[in-house]
């Protein structure tokens, strides 16, 4: 479980990135952190990791001050998937995933299982720098999976940013499954459809504050989102023709590839309204509003 | 798939070290005389074994220092020379020599100036480490840039010292600055530097996985359980002391701290544990080999310092390696 108690997060007491954050992410749930660029999503996640000490207030994981955790005590509780960085290491995929066991007892089976879960069995000997961005992101996710223990915390900073349309849903499905097994998942996402599909709770950060938190249907509303992002939103219904139903009868997993399936209720998803005049034409950069100089070929 | 270099590379590196070591014992060329290959007796054997040990220790220490700095700074261009650690250590020893000469007393002990070298190298490390941080976090590029600048400043101060000391001492300082493996290196210096090289290499190999993790961000390393601050500080400390120990014995010897880890990486890959071991072997082979070359190229007026050989041969070799690696990455 993650708790933030009246926490100011950032580097400067005079101008914290996020001020007075109070929220809790419960065990066995997925909490999505959303917000505009530079709103403080990564700062929030890094504070929960303990990489940034709160300027004021407290950040607790399983009731313990995360800043005081380190070494094995931290590795046992929290697994972290960063935004992809510019890492040019020649270590193999398997060696990097194996680093997830750095402070924990060696477990080759866990490493192999993690690679398998992200579909990289056949790439395990390949140097990291030779993998595509999406594959690199999956390797970093696999490292966290190899480290993760049931009941632990998973922090993920835009884990689907470089993934294709096949792997983004699979990864979200994986997160949902881990949450069902007791993990506390805190994930920063930009794609609101992904948020609506996977999150139990949404934290919206904007203007230096946690401006809204709650279930998807309470936070993902056009008015709240428009205020945060500065663009108009509309709700659309996305049909979900084959939705796997969880065996225990609780939340459906819209991304699961296997198991029993049934017609699902679909999702109500907020989408940002684009500045498109006709639906086929986009204004060219610098063009006056309403002019359309480039035509999008319809499918 | 294992690359051919990974299969035969380690054996070749060890063989190169053994050949260089044998050559250092058996091959000699008196000043102005012909090349001689002979089994030395008595005092000659003692002198050559000391030179062999000094070369191997210097090479191992510089190579390990390079491995540590490249890992900690996530930059393959990091080395004790480029970061100014070698120049700082050299400045420390030269200052001790100059001040000692002025006072009429020796401030450089039988260990070859280990204390002033460590003080000089350590001071540079503290400056570079301190100025290369942003918001308390190490900025690898910042550290490298500060290191280059501090290295230049140290170079300027060394030149200043050379101009300020008497003419007789100036010649000794210039010769020492060229990087020379002395045959008469004192036992105490060898034991001290050898101990430092051994402990430094062992620590680097043992902490290999933690250094592997530092290839990623500090957050990632922290999350998997690495005590990032402790590992980084210790690595910096060892890198500085190792470079200082090498400088105290032989003066600043260029390129070894940069070249040895790169050659080792081509052979055994990037896992720090195996990289550290292979770099020690290659570093020792390079310096001993350079010293053999220096012995073979003696002239009427004296021997060419080993540091000149590493710079003249190591520089072009490094450029060739760099271009080769770039071509491999592009293709």
The domain that contains B167 carries what CATH number?
1.10.3470.10
Q: Coil, strand, or helix at residue A179?
A: helix
The pLDDT value given to residue B311: 85
Q: Is residue A277 one of the residues assigned to a domain?
A: no
The count of structural domains within chain A is 1
Q: Is residue A52 one of the residues assigned to a domain?
A: yes
pLDDT (mean) for B125-146? 81
Q: How far apart are CA A297 and CA A268, in angstroms?
A: 28
The pLDDT value given to residue A183: 95
Residue of B nearest to A46 (CA): B219
Provide the CA B180 distance to its chain's centre, in angstroms.
Answer: 13
> Mutating which of B206, B219, B230, B331 best tests the A interface, going by the most A Cβ atoms within 10 A?
B219
Q: Is residue A18 one of the residues assigned to a domain?
A: yes
Q: How far apart are CA B67 and CA B279, in angstroms?
A: 8
Mean pLDDT of chain B: 86
- In this structure, which long-range contacts are made by residues A247-251, counting pairs with CB atoms below 8 Å and at least 24 apart in sequence? A248/A180, A250/A180, A251/A176, A251/A180, A251/A200
pLDDT (mean) for B127-135? 82
Angstroms from B225 CA to nearest CA on chain A:
4
Across the A/B interface, how many CB contacts are shorter than 8 Å?
72
Work out the pLDDT band at B138, boundaries 50, 70, 90: confident
Cβ <8 Å between B224 and A89: no
The pLDDT value given to residue A224: 94
Q: What pLDDT, in 10s, does the model give residues B256-311?
A: 999 999 999 989 988 999 999 999 999 999 999 999 998 888 776 677 888 888 88
Q: Is the confidence at residue B101, as pLDDT, over 70?
A: yes
The pLDDT value given to residue B42: 84
Cβ <8 Å between A91 and B271: yes
Cβ <8 Å between B226 and A102: yes
Q: Is residue A168 one of the residues assigned to a domain?
A: yes
User: Residue A195 sits in which domain range?
Assistant: 2-69+150-231
Phi, psi of A87 (to 5 degrees): -105, 125
Angstroms from A93 CA to nearest CA on chain B:
12
Q: What pLDDT, in 10s, does the model give residues B65-88?
A: 999 999 988 888 888 888 888 889
Name the residue among A82, A104, A129 with its Cβ closest to that of B219.
A82
The pLDDT value given to residue A78: 95
Q: Which residues of chain A have pLDDT under 50?
A: 241-262, 288-299
Cβ <8 Å between A90 and B213: no
Q: Is residue A248 one of the residues assigned to a domain?
A: no
The pLDDT value given to residue B105: 75
Q: Which residues contact B175 (CB under 8 A, 6 or more apart)?
A: B305
The count of structural domains within chain B is 1
Q: What residue spans of A206-276 are helical by DSSP H?
A: 216-219, 222-229
Which chain A residues are Cβ-neighbours of B269 within 8 angstroms?
A: 90-91
User: Residue B191 sits in which domain range?
Assistant: 4-330
Break chain B down into helix, strand, coil percent, rounded to 5: 75, 5, 25
| % of chain B surpassing 70 pLDDT | 92
Cβ <8 Å between B223 and A79: yes
Q: Is residue A287 one of the residues assigned to a domain?
A: no
Angstroms from B271 CA to nearest CA on chain A:
7
Q: Is residue A257 one of the residues assigned to a domain?
A: no
Q: By the 8 A CB rule, do B71 and B279 touch?
A: no
Q: Is residue A286 one of the residues assigned to a domain?
A: no
pLDDT (mean) for B133-161? 85
Q: What number is the ipTM of this complex?
A: 0.80
Q: What residue spans of B38-139 are helical by DSSP H?
A: 42-72, 85-103, 114-131
Angstroms from B237 CA to nearest CA on chain A:
21
The domain that contains A29 carries what CATH number?
3.40.50.300
């Amino acid at each position: 479980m993650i708790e933030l108690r009246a926490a100011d997060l950032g580097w400067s007491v005079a101008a914290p990135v996020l001020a007075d954050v109070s929220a809790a992410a419960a065990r066995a749930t997925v909490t999505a952190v959303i917000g505009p660029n530079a709103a403080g999503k990564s700062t929030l996640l890094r504070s929960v990791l303990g990489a940034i000490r709160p300027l004021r207030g407290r950040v607790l994981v399983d009731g313990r001050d995360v800043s005081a955790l380190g070494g094995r005590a931290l590795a046992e509780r929290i697994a972290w998937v960063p935004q992809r960085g510019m890492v040019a290491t020649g270590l193999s995929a398997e060696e990097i995933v194996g680093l997830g066991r750095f402070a924990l007892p060696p477990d080759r089976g866990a490493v192999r299982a993690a690679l398998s879960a992200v579909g990289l069995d056949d790439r395990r000997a390949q140097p990291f720098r030779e993998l595509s961005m999406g594959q690199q992101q999956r390797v970093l996710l696999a490292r966290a999976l190899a480290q993760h223990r049931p009941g632990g915390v998973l922090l993920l900073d835009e884990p689907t940013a470089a993934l294709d349309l096949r792997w983004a849903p699979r990864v979200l499905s994986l997160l949902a499954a881990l949450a069902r097994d007791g993990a506390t998942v805190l994930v920063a996402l930009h794609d609101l459809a992904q948020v609506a599909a996977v999150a139990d709770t949404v934290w919206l950060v904007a203007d230096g504050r946690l401006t809204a938190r709650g279930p998807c249907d309470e936070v993902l509303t056009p008015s709240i989102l428009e205020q945060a992002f500065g663009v108009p939103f509309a709700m659309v219904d996305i049909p979900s023709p084959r939705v796997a139903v969880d065996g225990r009868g609780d939340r459906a997993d819209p991304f699961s590839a296997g198991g029993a399936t049934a017609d699902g209720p679909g999702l109500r998803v907020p989408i940002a309204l684009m500045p498109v005049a006709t639906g086929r034409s986009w204004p060219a950069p610098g063009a006056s509003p309403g002019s359309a100089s480039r035509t999008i070929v319809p499918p | 798939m294992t690359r051919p270099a990974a299969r035969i590379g380690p054996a070749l590196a060890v063989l190169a070290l053994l050949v260089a070591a044998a050559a250092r014992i058996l091959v000699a060329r008196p000043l102005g005389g012909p090349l001689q290959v002979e089994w030395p007796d008595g005092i000659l054997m003692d002198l050559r074994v000391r030179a062999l040990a000094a070369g191997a220790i210097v090479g191992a220490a510089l190579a390990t220092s390079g491995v540590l700095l490249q890992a900690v700074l996530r930059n393959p261009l990091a080395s004790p020379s480029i970061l100014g650690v070698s120049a700082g250590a050299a400045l420390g020893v030269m200052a001790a020599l100059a001040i000692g000469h002025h006072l009429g007393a020796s401030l450089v002990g039988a260990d070859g100036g280990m204390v002033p070298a460590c003080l000089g190298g350590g001071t540079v490390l503290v400056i570079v480490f301190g100025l290369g941080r942003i918001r308390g976090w190490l900025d690898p590029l910042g550290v490298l840039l500060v290191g280059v600048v501090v290295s230049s400043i140290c170079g300027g101060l060394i030149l200043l010292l050379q101009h300020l000391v008497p003419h007789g001492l100036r010649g000794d300082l210039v010769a020492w600055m060229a990087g020379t493996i002395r045959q008469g290196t004192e036992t105490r210096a060898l034991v001290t530097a050898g101990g430092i090289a051994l402990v430094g290499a062992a620590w680097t190999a043992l902490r290999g996985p933690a250094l592997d993790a530092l290839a990623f961000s500090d957050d990632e390393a922290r999350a998997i359980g690495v005590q990032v601050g402790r590992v980084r500080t210790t690595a910096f400390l060892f890198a500085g002391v190792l470079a200082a120990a090498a400088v105290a014995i032989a003066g600043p010897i260029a390129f070894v701290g940069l070249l040895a880890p790169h050659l080792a990486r081509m052979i055994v890959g990037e896992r720090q544990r195996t990289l550290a071991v292979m770099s020690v072997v290659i570093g020792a082979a390079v310096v001993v080999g350079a010293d053999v070359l220096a012995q073979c190229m003696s002239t009427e007026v004296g021997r060419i310092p080993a540091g000149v050989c590493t710079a003249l041969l190591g520089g072009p070799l490094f450029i060739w390696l760099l271009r080769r690696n770039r071509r491999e990455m592009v293709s």
